[in-house]
């Protein structure tokens, strides 16, 4: 593979339907095709948060890569898979099942520091090259009253978010501070993605 190939000849294929990830990956300045993955996201209970996000990001990237038609000389294609989880004291908190579940999650997070893990896989199906890594960010929540939690939960924003909050939306009002990459909490650590793509021959400003 020619390591000096122009980045303009590379298309990133994002294995996610998340509007937030779609917005963030475009910061890299490359053409992007959206192909949400349809894969099993169940994991063994003994897996650690880093294992979960790395394995699921790889699973998503591989599932999308398998659906791609053979390359037809239109340039290189790199599939990017990603997965994010919230963990409190090492225990993974998924998306809330309903309003009461969202309220319960927010009560647990109130006044405490939790961690957000995002796994990323970059996979070039036409040559078999792949790389998988993850990033972690520590997030401290404010002390929240029952009324604040209820009012936020009733906005509906927590319902499709790991840990029942979205730092890029109204949930930003609940956060006291973060240590690490903000974009990692949103769902895609773009600086990590850029670093991972360098061995693929891509260079970013």
Residues assigned a catalytic role: 83
Q: Which two tokens stand for residue 126?
A: 């036409």
Please classify residue 122 by burial: count the beta carbons closer than 10 Å to its beta carbon, then call 0-12 exposed, 13-18 middle and 19+ buried.
buried
Rounded CA-CA distance 202/205 in Å is 10
Is 94:165 a contact under the CB 8 Å cutoff? no
Q: At what angle do helices 146-153 and 99-109 cross, to 10 degrees?
A: 140
**Per-residue b/e over 150-177, b at no fewer than 16 CB within 10 Å?**
eebbeeebbbebbbbbbbbeebeebeee
């Amino acid at each position: 593979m020619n390591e000096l190939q122009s980045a303009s000849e590379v298309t990133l294929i994002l294995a996610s339907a998340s509007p937030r990830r779609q917005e963030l990956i475009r910061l890299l300045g490359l053409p992007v095709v959206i192909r949400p993955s349809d894969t099993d996201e169940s994991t063994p209970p003994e897996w650690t948060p880093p294992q979960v996000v790395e394995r699921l990001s790889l699973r998503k990237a591989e599932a999308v890569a398998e659906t791609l038609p053979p390359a037809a000389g239109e340039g290189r294609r790199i599939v990017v898979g990603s997965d994010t989880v919230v963990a409190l004291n090492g225990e993974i908190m998924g998306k809330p099942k309903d309003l009461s579940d969202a309220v319960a999650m927010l009560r647990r997070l109130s006044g405490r520091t939790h961690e957000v893990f995002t796994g990323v896989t970059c996979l070039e199906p036409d040559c078999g090259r792949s790389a998988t890594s993850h990033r972690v960010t520590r997030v401290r929540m404010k002390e929240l009253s029952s009324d604040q939690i209820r009012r936020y939960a009733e906005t509906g924003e927590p319902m499709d978010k790991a840990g029942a909050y979205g730092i890029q939306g109204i949930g930003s009002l609940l956060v006291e501070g973060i240590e690490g990459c903000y974009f990692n909490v949103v769902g895609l650590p773009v600086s990590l993605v850029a670093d991972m793509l360098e061995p693929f021959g891509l260079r970013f400003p």
